[in-house]
A and B are shown apart, each in its own frame.
Chain A
Amino acid sequence: MYDFALVFSLRHARREPPMALTREQIASIAALARLDLTASEIPVYQDSLSRILDFVGALDRAQTTDVVPMSHPLPGLSQRLRPDVVSEQDRHEQYQANAPQVAAGLYLVPKVIE
């Protein structure tokens, strides 16, 4: 096997990470992300998310004082604007052909207000 851990001196090898996420934390992240997890999925994500966070913790070692965060790979390009004119046609029937439930041009969901 190739010792990637050695390469980066990252202590990501199979072990209990120092800051393991709790079941409750995973449940709360899943709720924020609107993901319904089964009981058996929670420990799987507890383990792997803890190890991923431990792994990306290597970033702490980088000296980034005064470094501007990079959000776009081609710096210096400004956001392009277009004239404020109608460019889209009404194609709702075509788009709604993919919807699970539609009536009278509206998307149907369970009742929200009693």
Chain B
Amino acid sequence: MSGWHTGTLTELAAGLRARKFSSVELVRAFLARIDANQATLNAFISVTREQALAEAAAADRALAAGGAGALTGVPIAHKDIFCTQGVRTTCGSRMLDNFVAPYDATVVAKLKGAGAVMLGKTNMDEFAMGSSSETSFYGPVRNPWNPQLVPGGSSGGSAAAVAARLIPGATATDTGGSIRQPAALCGITGIKPTYGRVSRYGMIAFASSLDQGGVLTASAADAALLLREMAGFDANDSTSVDTPVPDYVAALEEPLAGLKVGLLREFFDKGLDAHNEQRVREALKVYEQLGARLTEVSLPNLPLSVPVYYVVAPAECSSNLARFDGVRFGYRCENPRDLTDLYSRSRGEGFGTEVKRRIMTGTYVLSAGYYDAYYLKAQRVRQLINADFTRAFGSVDVLMGPTTPTPAFAIGAKTSDPITMYLNDIYTIGANLAGLPAVSIPCGFVQGLPVGLQIVGPHFSEARVLSAAHAFQRVTDWHTRVPPGYA
């Protein structure tokens, strides 16, 4: 049988519970789609076929016995940044090419506990450092809307897989836009929750004050379902926040009328592609028709978010990636002369160009004599940006604007100029700096390529931003569009 791949995650979960089809049937169908498109899209690093089929069979037994969880038997994929016990976890790097995680990340364990079946690990920028999924040791991911273009990054494998309906939903992480930017470029829905909402335990660290796990799905309703199961307090993550997780699914139908929407003046700048802007403004008009009240707000320090990020993130990365030493796990160079040579060559050979660039940038800004001028200065400006957001949320419920300045760009177009690449995240980084929840939803097309609308809310307002996204998706059909050839 075919056609299951066009069902949403919510529909598939309901169909499984109603015993309309089995998890084994579903898993086989999605595995076949993954296999058929791997050569074109390169969305996966590992496919866990046998394990998936065994878990699906167990899910079917649970469904038959009536002991099913919210996601029992539903196929999902994990970004290869999440540790999966007994399964290779590479983070897109040669450094971890042979690393088999000795434990499950909390996110993985929670989704497993809810009954979800993992089909594989998705491709990504090396150590999540990138905006195009081109820096992976396993080769670039391609955009299903046009294989000559990037899918965005760093969660490009998860985004391409969901957009091409190779999987109904996937986990992802977002340090500066790595969920929302690929969601926009692939025409799907992505949410980066509030910092501390989803456990970072077992999620390989890049920049610990910014990293946050989330999901990529076809719709806001699907995102609500997955996020409800993976969010929550975890004693193993010292920054996890002990606040109850609302039922995001039940909150989806929250009425939108009267919602105060702030349009970010700084996001509608000269860098925004005119066609992109047009799609976003059309989406805002839809919100107005739904009863939202739109006002313009200004966050004057927001334009400094990219420079702040490229001090803070590399600084934290240089510290986090110090653990890769060629001694305890990961890549080790051949015939080291002495201990320093072992460290330096293992790291020099095991890390790719962009990762080394960020480690060195971070090392420089943290080094004696430069710490105050760069790192401390960036943390002060981060405080100003945070204050801008706090002020804005004093008068509006959510902020809206574009997710990215342009639709997807060509593979190779920005690899030679890191700053041009970094500026892809110009509209997304602010939410990371302030730890805010933000979603990207598809809101139209420019020359056949999807465009994303971004909705940012105050801390722990996931239910509000998801219900606002859902209200839009109830009256539009952009989120149901599937790339040609993948329907």
Whole-angstrom distance between the alpha carbons of A52 and B378 in the complex?
Answer: 14
> For residue B376, which residue of chain A has the nearest CB?
A69
16 cross-chain CB contacts under 8 A? A7-B269, A32-B363, A32-B367, A34-B340, A34-B343, A34-B347, A53-B374, A56-B307, A59-B307, A62-B384, A71-B209, A71-B379, A74-B196, A95-B328, A99-B327, A109-B339
Q: Tell yes or no: B393 within 8 A of A by CB.
A: no
Contact of B347 among A35, A62, A64 (CB under 8 A): A35
Contact of B328 among A55, A68, A99 (CB under 8 A): A99
Q: Which B338-360 residues have a C-beta within 8 angstroms of A?
A: 338-345, 347-349, 351, 353, 356-357, 359-360
The answer to whether A112 touches B339 (Cβ under 8 A) is: yes
The answer to whether A62 touches B343 (Cβ under 8 A) is: no
Q: Tell yes or no: B308 within 8 A of A by CB.
A: yes
Q: Tell yes or no: B139 within 8 A of A by CB.
A: no
Q: Which residues of B contact A95 (CB under 8 A)?
A: 102, 328-329
- Given A48-B418, A56-B374, decide whether A68 and B270 contact each other with a Cβ distance below 8 A: no
The answer to whether B327 touches A98 (Cβ under 8 A) is: no
Q: Which 3 A-B pairs have the closest CB atoms?
A: A73-B435, A36-B348, A69-B379
Q: Which residues of B contact A12 (CB under 8 A)?
A: 419
Q: Tell yes or no: B238 within 8 A of A by CB.
A: yes
Known: A37-B356, A52-B419. 15 other contacts (CB 8 A): A3-B270, A3-B271, A32-B363, A36-B344, A51-B419, A53-B374, A56-B365, A69-B379, A71-B209, A73-B195, A74-B194, A74-B459, A77-B239, A77-B241, A107-B328
Q: Which residues of B contact A100 (CB under 8 A)?
A: 326-327, 330-332
Q: Which residues of B contact A45 (CB under 8 A)?
A: 356-357, 360
Number of A positions contacting B (CB below 8 A): 63
Number of A-B contacts (CB under 8 A): 197
Number of B positions contacting A (CB below 8 A): 84
Residues 48-81 of chain A: 1 if any B CB is under 8 Å from the residue's CB, otherwise 0? 1101110111111010100111111111010110
Task: Give min CB distance, A73 to chain B, whole Å.
Answer: 3
Chain B contact residues, CB within 8 Å of chain A: 98-100, 102, 194-196, 209-210, 235, 238-239, 241, 269-271, 273, 301, 303-304, 306-308, 310-311, 318, 322, 325-332, 336-345, 347-349, 351, 353, 356-357, 359-361, 363-365, 367, 374, 376-384, 386, 405-406, 417-420, 422-423, 426, 432-435, 459
Q: Which residues of B contact A41 (CB under 8 A)?
A: 353, 356
Interface centre among A45, A51, A73, A95 (most CB of B within 10 A): A73
The answer to whether B327 touches A2 (Cβ under 8 A) is: no
- Given A55-B310, A72-B209, decide whether A109 and B419 contact each other with a Cβ distance below 8 A: no
Contact of A52 among B344, B382, B418 (CB under 8 A): B418
Q: Tell yes or no: A97 within 8 A of B by CB.
A: yes
Task: Give min CB distance, B407 to chain A, whole Å.
Answer: 12
Q: Which residues of B contact A67 (CB under 8 A)?
A: 380-381, 383-384
- Say whether chain B's binding surface is mostly helix, strand, loop, or mixed: helix
The answer to whether A33 touches B328 (Cβ under 8 A) is: no
Residues 15-33 of chain A: 1 if any B CB is under 8 Å from the residue's CB, otherwise 0? 0000000000010011111
The answer to whether A56 touches B311 (Cβ under 8 A) is: yes
Residues 83-114 of chain A: 1 if any B CB is under 8 Å from the residue's CB, otherwise 0? 00000000100111111110000010111100
Whole-angstrom distance between the alpha carbons of A10 and B341 in the complex?
Answer: 39
The answer to whether A49 touches B360 (Cβ under 8 A) is: yes
Whole-angstrom distance between the alpha carbons of A52 and B363 in the complex?
Answer: 13
Q: Which residues of A contact B341 (CB under 8 A)?
A: 36, 110
> For residue B301, which residue of chain A has the nearest CB?
A62
Q: Tell yes or no: A39 within 8 A of B by CB.
A: no
- Given A52-B310, A56-B311, A67-B380, decide whether A2 and B273 contact each other with a Cβ distance below 8 A: yes
The answer to whether A59 touches B238 (Cβ under 8 A) is: no
